[in-house]
Structure 1
Amino acid sequence: MTTDPTGPVEPADQPVRPAQEAARAVFRRALRDTVVLLVALAVLGVGVGALVAGLPGVWGALIGVALALVFSGTTVVAMIRTIDSSPNTMAAVVMGTWLAKVLVVIVVLALIRDMDFYHRGVLAAVLALGVVGSAVLDFRAVNGGRVPYVEPGATGR
């Protein structure tokens, strides 16, 4: 590392990327908030499910939370993992994870469709609350994040 009168200069092979770090912080916040939401929803869903339908209500809540985690968490994790990649790579990974999670949800719902160990209403309510709540938290994290549109000091050459 060299120095100049204005302060230290980073080596050319490891540029400072404040926009990426800010975006990474936004995605970590979204993931953390989603996990907190789903833990609270699991506790509340299991309690309400047990009151509404007994053991099938508990199973419905647990399956709903698990599906909400798969549906909500995969996109944020894909964004965190590909933040240093090109936009094309990031888009491909996010699209691939979206297709995979939709396939997982459809397959799980198809496999348990004719089973009666869970309560369908509790599962649907918990899944809907988890997915919508996670989307709201993602919006809040992105809206409140301070991600610069341009890299400070970038010359554009």
Structure 2
Amino acid sequence: MSDTQDRPATPAINAVLRTVLVWTGIAAAALIVLGGGIGYLVAGAEGLWSGLAGVGLAIVFLALTPVSVLIANRWYGKEMFATVFFGIVMGGWLLKLVIFIVAIVILRGQSWVVPEVIFLSLVAGIVVSLAIDAIAFSRLRVPHVSDVVLPSRNPEDDPDS
């Protein structure tokens, strides 16, 4: 039996990553309401748009990593899995860096941006995402070596012994 036939069809971590994305979506809805609402109360319409921009950036940045890992895991069990996986994940991180630089350059010169509101909205999004990740991964029930099939102890069942 070949090594790829012994492996499960998908890595065990995929279920956790999907859960993280669902919780991030729910938290994003709450952050949009809170960030936009508080921004509006503090600085009017400019605060509203600043709060929404900060939360939007946080959501994009924080969702890109689990999404890129889920996409990369589609090649799980294939010959070039490690190369494809790290290429996709590192490409996602590079994309985040480019988006961040472009967003800062574009938003820096806008008259409607309230720096304190956009900053606090972005920080709130990051803190909530880190809390979601910490809770999801602390509840993770995957063995340390989740995707490995061990040989049987019975010598009759193991052709290599």
Normalised to the residue count of structure 1, the TM-score between the two structures is 0.81
1:108 aligns with 2:103: yes
1:24 aligns with 2:14: yes
User: Does the C-alpha gap of structure 1 residues 41 and 154 become closer, same or farther in structure 2, counting only changes over 3 Å?
Assistant: same
Question: Which residue of structure 1 lines up, in the alignment, with residue 155 of structure 2?
Answer: none
Distance 2:26 2:115 in 1: 24
- Across the aligned residues of Structure 1 and Structure 2, the Cα RMSD in angstroms comes to 2.4
In the alignment, structure 2 segments of 5+ residues that lack a partner are 76-80, 153-159
In the alignment, structure 1 segments of 5+ residues that lack a partner are 1-11
Matched residue pairs, number?
Answer: 145
**Does the 8 Å contact 1:24/1:80 carry over to 2?**
yes
**Does the 8 Å contact 2:35/2:121 carry over to 1?**
yes
Distance 1:99 1:151 in 2: 28
What's the % identity of the aligned pairs? 33
The 5 A counterparts of 1:50-61 are: 50-61=40-51
1:72 aligns with 2:68: no
Question: Which residue of structure 2 lines up, in the alignment, with residue 139 of structure 1?
Answer: 134
Deviation of the 1:115 alpha carbon: 1.2
Question: Which residue of structure 2 lines up, in the alignment, with residue 4 of structure 1?
Answer: none
Normalised to the residue count of structure 2, the TM-score between the two structures is 0.80
1:123 aligns with 2:123: no
> Which runs of at least 4 in structure 1 moved beyond 2 Å after TM superposition?
12-16, 150-157
**Does the 8 Å contact 2:54/2:118 carry over to 1?**
yes
